[in-house]
Structure 1
Amino acid sequence: MEAVLARMRDLDRRLPPHDGVAVFNRVYLTVTETLHGRIEGGAFPDPRRAGDLTVRFARRYLSAVESAAEGRRSPACWRPLFQYRRHPGIRPLQYALAGINAHIGHDLALAVVASCRAQDCSPGALEGDFDRVGDTLVALEERIREDLMPGPDLLEVADPVTHLIGSWSLQRARDGAWAAARLLWTLRRSPDLAGEFTESLDAGVGLVGRCLLTPLPVPHPRPSCRTALA
């Protein structure tokens, strides 16, 4: 766990603050530090098993970042974030949600299956750990939205970002990841089918990420009644 945290902290130091990957990395670093503290504090019945799942999960994100930095092809779910990471029309919350979408929607299912293989157990044995990790993510989601929202003056019903972020749900993504992990485990003896499903999952999550990163106009504050009537 300390090794993946060190890599995330290194990214936090090296990346420009407004880079889209840096925005997500800060969010994920907070999540991983929180999970590490909970595991060390005894919140998980089997710390070794929970730590294995958490580390395998984090490594998938770090591997994608490394692939992009070296000019290699990264998973489809991560490509929108890497392609639009410096776009002036994309707001920090969009970057954070696009990264969470890629990591939960695609990486989490594959991390569960990899952890099951390594520990010689079925997904059912990891369900409690999966739920506890998910509960930590959901608890942090509201704080993430509050920290990265553009500000109360911009949260108008007509503001496109309000509709965009309302179309995505971490809880639904988490439920989908668990269903995908169980299906991949069932398909483990049919590698061709498992590969096809994984590729389809990757592409579908990438499409959602591209939608979340739709460039939006910067809204202007609405004039006051006095200004409007002047």
Structure 2
Amino acid sequence: MAAENIDDVVEGLAGIVREAVDAGDRIGYFAALYRQVTVEIRSAIHNGQFDDGARMDRFDTLFGNRYFDAYDAWRRDRSGPRCWREMFGLLDDADTVIVQHLILGVNAHINLDLAIAAARTGPGEDIQALRHDFLLINDILAGVVLAVQDSLDAVSPLLSLLDRVGGRTDERILDFSVRQSREEAWHNAVLLAGQNEQERAATIERLDVRATALARLIARPGGLVRPALELIRGTESHDVPAVITRLGNAMERPSARQATA
């Protein structure tokens, strides 16, 4: 599939979510999260929150097509970027918990795709004009993380164990993957925007290798995290369609964290 605008991105993601619900396919976990982020960005465009709404529409479309290309390549012949193959390859792994599926998708899409999409939106010196709107997305993502965290708590009640063994809250595990990775993605976007074709290919290869290494750490963490994940897995919901639906409706539920902030 290939999106021509942000509306197409939303509809494409909604289609993947619907198919995943029908098939009980865990690919719907990240797709449901990603769709909600895209809907919020589209609303921000319509509300005039960005400096250049048309540019953000193009940016989000390029970004979305990176995901669709990886999704189509995997469905077709198990090909595509290595970091996405790591993520898709764990969809049938019963040992992988819900939050790992989400972070694996975040890792591939942010640590590889985001810089590429930003550089294509603002090649050369034009990349600097994108910075304010690029950073504004962090605030949008923070709101989605809060809502999704509430949904995760409902389907994975022992997720807070990651706080005790990892020294940070489960919410910050999601936020860390997004916010810090986006800061690095901006640096790489500026780099890519100023490179020639051969240099860009080498940089993209490096980004894919690094994101793949991170994916393997996320999938198979060591130390006390591993037994914590075993406990989490034993108590969280294994009803895949219900989990996808819960994640997909997260923004429609009042957030307890927002209410108490």
The TM-score with structure 1 as length reference comes to 0.83
1:79 pairs, out of 72, 78, 85, with 85
2:185 aligns with 177
Give how far 1:60 is off.
Answer: 0.6
1:31 aligns with 37
Q: Secondary structure at the match of 1:15?
A: helix
What pairs up with 1:137-156 in 2 under 5 angstroms?
A: 137-149=141-153, 151-153=156-158, 155-156=160-161
Give how far 1:41 is off.
Answer: 1.4
Give how far 1:192 is off.
Answer: 2.3
From the superposition, tell whether residues 64 and 151 of structure 1 become closer, same or farther in structure 2 (CA, over 3 Å). closer
Report how many aligned residue pairs link the two structures: 217
2:245 aligns with none
2:99 pairs, out of 93, 100, 104, with 93
Does the CA contact (< 8 Å) of 2:83 and 2:209 recur in 1?
yes
| CA distance, structure 1, for counterparts of residue 77 and residue 168 of structure 2 | 31
Does the CA contact (< 8 Å) of 1:21 and 1:81 recur in 2?
no
Stretch of structure 1 that moved more, 137-146 or 104-113: 137-146
Give how far 1:166 is off.
Answer: 3.9
| CA distance, structure 2, for counterparts of residue 31 and residue 48 of structure 1 | 18
Letter in 2 for 1:9: A
Does the CA contact (< 8 Å) of 1:93 and 1:145 recur in 2?
no
Flag the structure with higher helix content: 2
Give how far 1:155 is off.
Answer: 2.5
Query: Which structure has the greater CA radius of gyration?
Result: 1
Letter in 1 for 2:187: A
2:218 pairs, out of 209, 212, 217, with 212
Give how far 1:152 is off.
Answer: 4.5
Cα RMSD of the aligned pairs, angstroms, is: 2.7
Does the CA contact (< 8 Å) of 1:98 and 1:212 recur in 2?
yes
Unaligned runs of 5+ in 1: 222-230
User: After superposition, what is the alpha-carbon deviation per residue over 1:191-230, rounded to whole angstroms, capped at 9, x for unaligned?
Assistant: 3222111101111012112221227423568xxxxxxxxx
| CA distance, structure 1, for counterparts of residue 177 and residue 15 of structure 2 | 29
Does the CA contact (< 8 Å) of 1:116 and 1:122 recur in 2?
yes
User: After superposition, what is the alpha-carbon deviation per residue over 1:2-35, rounded to whole angstroms, capped at 9, x for unaligned?
Assistant: 1111111111111147533210000001110111
From the superposition, tell whether residues 125 and 91 of structure 1 become closer, same or farther in structure 2 (CA, over 3 Å). same
| CA distance, structure 2, for counterparts of residue 36 and residue 80 of structure 1 | 29
User: After superposition, what is the alpha-carbon deviation per residue over 1:119-172, rounded to whole angstroms, capped at 9, x for unaligned?
Assistant: x75210111121122321233223323322454445332489978x74953211
Q: Secondary structure at the match of 2:192?
A: helix
User: After superposition, what is the alpha-carbon deviation per residue over 1:81-116, rounded to whole angstroms, capped at 9, x for unaligned?
Assistant: 110012111111111111111111111100011112
Does the CA contact (< 8 Å) of 2:120 and 2:193 recur in 1?
no
From the superposition, tell whether residues 161 and 61 of structure 1 become closer, same or farther in structure 2 (CA, over 3 Å). farther
1:125 aligns with 129
| CA distance, structure 2, for counterparts of residue 74 and residue 196 of structure 1 | 16
From the superposition, tell whether residues 160 and 20 of structure 1 become closer, same or farther in structure 2 (CA, over 3 Å). farther
Q: Secondary structure at the match of 2:77?
A: coil
Give how far 1:56 is off.
Answer: 0.8
2:18 aligns with 13
From the superposition, tell whether residues 160 and 218 of structure 1 become closer, same or farther in structure 2 (CA, over 3 Å). farther
1:56 pairs, out of 62, 67, 74, with 62
| CA distance, structure 1, for counterparts of residue 208 and residue 20 of structure 2 | 26
| CA distance, structure 2, for counterparts of residue 22 and residue 161 of structure 1 | 27
| CA distance, structure 1, for counterparts of residue 55 and residue 166 of structure 2 | 44
